[in-house]
Amino acid sequence: MLNKKLTKLKKILKNMGSVLVAYSGGVDSTFLLKIAKEVLGNKVLAVTAKSETYPEREYNQAKKIARRLKVKHLTIYTKELLNPKFLANPADRCYYCKKELLTELKQIAADVGISYVADGTNFDDKKDFRPGSKAVKELNVRSPLKEAGLNKKEIRLLSRKMKLPTWDKPALACLASRIPYGTHIDRKKLEMIRKSEEYLYKLGFRQVRVRHHACPETEGSPEQCRGKAGRRNEIARIEVPPGDIIKLVSRNLSNKVIKKLKDIGYRYVTLDLQGYQTGSLNPVT
């Protein structure tokens, strides 16, 4: 069954003729890029978008892998932080980001004579809350992995067989996904999240989310929303896999984490005892 799906994927890509891959460096887009290169050769272009919502560490890894796969790699700079609709952080926030990105990718593809833009959406993604999929549909972007019926587990298995370094890579999501819907997004919050997660990665944690919670301006008085020296009462809610919780709460490590995150700007540092959950801030459906 798995070989049939892989064969189907290769047939889909061959029929596309040439493809621009929206490339994040994650499990799915790396696998797609690998197979596209295998099938289409030099008729493949990988494009990665940089912005304040995309960790520099992830970009550097994506660039390194594209070089390893010998695929032409282009970097663009997106401006979602200039879009008031994105900054307002509604439940369909990802739509506005994805719409801007894919519109630019479609233009690049047209300029260089590439037939299709493809993303790394897989078959499992149909079950998840993904407002960005609306932009994919509107702009006629292809999702070959989904079309071939490949799910996340199968993609990881095939990636491992092909010795791709991303086969066991933790799930990736933009930094804005750490901020609850309805809470305004700004550079300061994103930078606090980025620094906090980078610190935890350096301590050896592979799967980390620092959810950013703050006292809403609409609740209580401004004084109630601020701590000493006028600092807002931002709360860092750390998520790590359940198996890593004991490590994180050890006295020596937890004290270091608390101090570091408070230095970054958080007033309170908490740990979610449920552990890491994909999309834990998504609306309840």
Burial of 261 per CB tally in 10 Å (0-12, 13-18, 19+): buried
Looking at the chain, the whole-number percentage of residues with pLDDT higher than 70 is 90
Is residue 276 domain-resident?
Answer: no
Is residue 145 domain-resident?
Answer: yes
Strands 19-22 and 268-271: unpaired
* Residue in 34, 52, 9, 240 with CA at minimum distance from that of residue 143: 9
Is residue 277 domain-resident?
Answer: no
Residue 55, both tokens:
């960790």
pLDDT (tens digit per residue) in 51-101: 999 998 999 999 999 999 999 999 999 999 999 999 999 999 999 999 999
One domain, residues 50 and 137: yes
**Is the full-model pTM beyond 0.85?**
yes
Q: What is the CATH number of the domain that holds 265?
A: 3.30.300
Give the pLDDT of the chain (285 residues) as one tens digit per residue. Answer: 899 999 999 999 999 999 999 999 999 999 999 999 999 999 999 999 999 999 989 999 999 999 999 999 999 999 999 999 999 999 999 999 999 999 999 999 999 999 999 999 999 877 666 777 888 999 999 999 999 999 999 999 999 999 999 999 998 889 999 999 999 999 999 999 999 999 999 999 999 999 999 865 444 444 545 544 445 679 999 999 999 999 999 878 999 999 999 999 999 999 999 999 876 566 543
One domain, residues 21 and 116: yes
One domain, residues 14 and 134: yes
Domain termination residue (choose one: 161, 194, 226)? 161
Structural domain harbouring 11:
2-161
Please state the length of the chain. 285
Is residue 59 domain-resident?
Answer: yes
Domain termination residue (choose one: 111, 139, 161)? 161
Rounded-to-integer distance, Cα 199 and Cα 205, Å: 9
One domain, residues 135 and 14: yes
pLDDT (tens digit per residue) in 256-273: 999 999 999 999 999 999
One domain, residues 33 and 72: yes
Looking at the structure of the chain, the number of domains it has is 2
Residue 189, both tokens:
């919050």
Q: How far is CA 135 from CA 26, 57, 63, 99, 148, in A?
A: 20, 27, 25, 5, 20
- For CA atoms 151, 157, 162, 165, give the dihedral sign: positive
One domain, residues 11 and 133: yes
One domain, residues 139 and 32: yes
